[in-house]
Amino acid sequence: MESKRAVEILHSPETIYVTYQNMPVWIDAVNDNRQVKIRDLNSNNTMEVPVDELTEVGT
């Protein structure tokens, strides 16, 4: 995923499904250095990962 799309998802009023390594995640923040802060929806753990490792589901 590109940073621009991650920002669009972050600010979208709709729920857009995103995964990181096949686990459902929520985008909490997008940093300028191509990193995103995400929350694992199964465990509620947060982590910072490269934005290009995220996948938008259903596109």
* Domain encompassing residue 8: 3-51
Residue 59 lies in a domain: no
The pLDDT assigned to 43 comes to 95
CA dihedral 13, 46, 48, 16 (to 10 degrees): -20
Residue-wise pLDDT for 20-37, tens only, equals: 999 999 999 999 889 999
d(CA 4, CA 22): 21
**With pLDDT > 70 as the criterion, what percentage of the chain qualifies?**
98
Residue 19 lies in a domain: yes
Residue 57 lies in a domain: no
The pLDDT assigned to 32 comes to 82
Phi-psi category of residue 9: left, alpha or beta, with phi > 0 → left and psi -120 to 50 → alpha: alpha
Residue 28 lies in a domain: yes
Give the number of domains in the chain.
Answer: 1
Please state the pTM of the whole predicted model: 0.89
